[in-house]
Amino acid sequence: MDQQELEEHLRQMRELPQDWWKWGNTALVLSDWFHRHLLGLSIAYDDESGRHRAHASGFLVDYLGKLCWFSAGHVVVEILRIRNDPKYRLSDFRWLDRHPAKDASTLPAHNKQPTAYYQYGRGRDFGMIVLDGLDELHVRSNEGLVLMTEQGWANLEGSNPEGYYVFGFPIEWQSVDETPANTRQTRVALVAPLSCLPVVRIDPPLVSVRDEFWDDKNAFYGEIVAFERIEDPAQFQPSDIVGMSGGPLLSLERQLDGRIRYRLFGVLVSWNKRNRYVRVEPIQRIIDELVKPWLQSREPVNSRGHS
């Protein structure tokens, strides 16, 4: 790009209207890039009523050389409940890593008992699973996945977001096809489309509300809004975002050099369906209260309480 082309590009970026990030085509282009940070998890288990499969949203973070899968605390609690409760038999545990190799779009976990930590209750809802061994090697070797690092949430206080996107894999868009390959193995075909939803930040109520959704004044609260400049925007948004808990909330802003900068603000943990409000745990809280204590002590930091 020569100087004249660069100047024209910068002019076009500066002249974009304030709602540029709500445009459907913008979200479509950017979600292809953001998708590489996300990693879905699927587990199958059996109980007295038969076979069940559950999917979870999350994303990858490399923090000081440790590979972690971040998600909501209640998601990690549910995974541990299924894994540890004797009334369930865990039959499949796989990462939806979208590897480009044929028939390798999912990765059966080598370690089905991974180390997991969480904070859930008393205004906290975040968790993580630590990937190591062969699972870590496979994930790190997958060029289709991009790990987030501290750079992703650096200087949040000095940022000037123009808008936000929340990402995840809604249950209503997912499908599963399980075909017996032989007497001992089952071929599993999972389809879990990514949902990228524009979010406008909102303030929590000024007066006390008896609703645990609003019980953390330091959380991020936002409203999911419709896409603009696109025909039938509703078809690109799920009616219910259940299944997206654990996905990241990213901010967007234009820089002076014409590039779009995005930052990791936190983890989606709950939503108010009636008003399409979302609540997000701040990333710095997760690092300070979950990741750093684990790295410093290597002792379990799990807790569960009720407000």
Nearest to 196 by CA among 36, 48, 35, 54: 35
Instruction: Judge whether residue 3 has pLDDT over 80.
Output: no
pLDDT value, residue 180 = 65
Average pLDDT on 245-261 reads 90
Nearest to 204 by CA among 187, 217, 186: 217
Q: What is the percent of the chain where pLDDT is above 70? A: 87
Q: Which residue has the tokens 């009636």?
A: 274
pTM for this prediction:
0.88
Instruction: Judge whether residue 307 has pLDDT over 50.
Output: no
Average pLDDT, the chain: 87
Torsions phi, psi for 80 (to 5 deg): -65, -35
- pLDDT tens for residues 178-202? 666 666 666 666 677 889 999 999 9
Tell me the torsion sign for CA atoms 295, 74, 145, 19. Answer: negative
- Structural domains of the chain sorted by starting position, each given as residue range(s) with its CATH number in brackets: 3-298 (2.40.10)
Instruction: Judge whether residue 59 has pLDDT over 70.
Output: yes
The encoded tokens of residue 79 equal 């995974």
